Amino acid sequence: MSNARIQYLVNRFFEGASSEDERQELADWVNRSASDAALQSVLEEAWRNYEPSAADRQRGEAAMERVYTRISEETDRTRMRIAWWKPAAAAAVLFLAGLGIWKGTRSAQEPLANVQEEVTNDVMPGGEKAVLTLSNGRQIVLDSAADGLLAQQGGTSVNKLSNGQLVYDGEDNREGEIVYNTMTTPRGGQYRLTLPDGTKAWLNSASSITFPTAFAGASRSVTITGEVYLEVAKDEKMPFTVKANGVDIAVLGTHFNVSAYPEDGAVRTTLLEGKVKVSTAAGSRTIAPGEQAQAGNGRLDVHQHVNLDQVMGWKNGRFVFEGEPIARVMNQLSRWYDVEVGDIEQVDDRFYLDLPRSKKLSDVLKALELTGKVKFKIEGKKIVVMK
């Protein structure tokens, strides 16, 4: 393929104008190209053509986003976010390395060696695991329980569907005794359920939700720990409230994510649809879609224009880090792979990464090493972190 043709295809990517055939043509060339210099040259030139000014950086980011996302989808490669302020050459190298198609010098491949050589007992990703604790204290391990009826709680039946989802189904029993159940996911687990009112809940690793088997009275209330995403069934006569580490989140019908891990130092409520009111001892704030309320250290702040792909990455089966400190990165890996993490104080950089949570632990660590900012060793169930 001529350089002019390659440049044309890459530019079409930046413009978001590529046809399916053009995307496949570029993906095929990227996969079979033996010339690292040509690969880097083309990407550098395309980047220079669209490099944003200080006043228009966002346009440049969106252009580069289209390029690496589309190529990675066509080639089914690991995707890596790029620090946009880096020089064009460094951005091109990181881009190629993140796609897993950099075949150049030994120095470009060096970061891969450490994890690969040190793995003696690789760790597989987490999966669908949870324990249901009934009102009488009986516990049911959901990942090993058979499909069908698991228990009867008052007038409500508890059923496990063939897709692993737990569903509470029963007649409106607002006059009967209120009993509570708790679903808990372990480290390395996740699960989802449908509450008695039809509200859907997804639990991330090391999380729990406590709820009545039938909602009664003038309101609906659940208590959570860890991280839970909720799609609340609308019922204007019975407002819905989530309680998490001293934070109350009041809704009518909406979609939102609550992250309340103690080690993260704050309760983060991110709204995707509708409207919620977040209340703490520090006050109350109502947030709109795309906003996030952060409650911690006696403060309640609202952040606008939150990256929803990053917030919802766990539910969508991906690790998405957008300028995250190593502490938050390793907290997520620790919970999902159920491993211990060593000292991280010597690493003070921020990390950009987007790849499936179905990867083995060593694959995730190798992708992080490609940044050149950190190295890892896996020692049994412990990750050793090195600058």
pTM metric for this prediction: 0.71
pLDDT at res. 356: 87
Residues 154 and 137 in one domain: yes
pLDDT at res. 114: 45
Q: Which pLDDT tens digit goes with each residue over 109-131? A: 333 334 544 455 688 999 999 99
Six token digits for residue 9: 């295809």
Residues 35 and 53 in one domain: yes
Domain assignment present for residue 107? The answer is no
Backbone angles phi, psi at 50, to 5 degrees: -120, 10
Six token digits for residue 235: 């019922």
pLDDT at res. 305: 85
pLDDT at res. 191: 96
| Domain total of the chain | 3
We report the CATH number of the domain holding residue 381 as 3.55.50.30
What does the alpha-carbon distance between residue 233 and residue 200 come to, in Å, rounded to a whole number? 8
Residues in the chain: 387
Q: Which pLDDT tens digit goes with each residue over 277-330? A: 999 998 999 999 999 999 998 999 999 989 898 999 999 999 988 888 999 999
What does the alpha-carbon distance between residue 47 and residue 87 come to, in Å, rounded to a whole number? 10
pLDDT at res. 73: 45
Spans in the chain with pLDDT lower than 70: 1-8, 10-18, 27-121, 171-176
DSSP 3-state assignment of 344?
coil
**By residue range, what is the domain housing residue 58?**
3-76
Domain assignment present for residue 47? The answer is yes
We report the CATH number of the domain holding residue 172 as 2.60.120.1440
What does the alpha-carbon distance between residue 276 and residue 212 come to, in Å, rounded to a whole number? 21
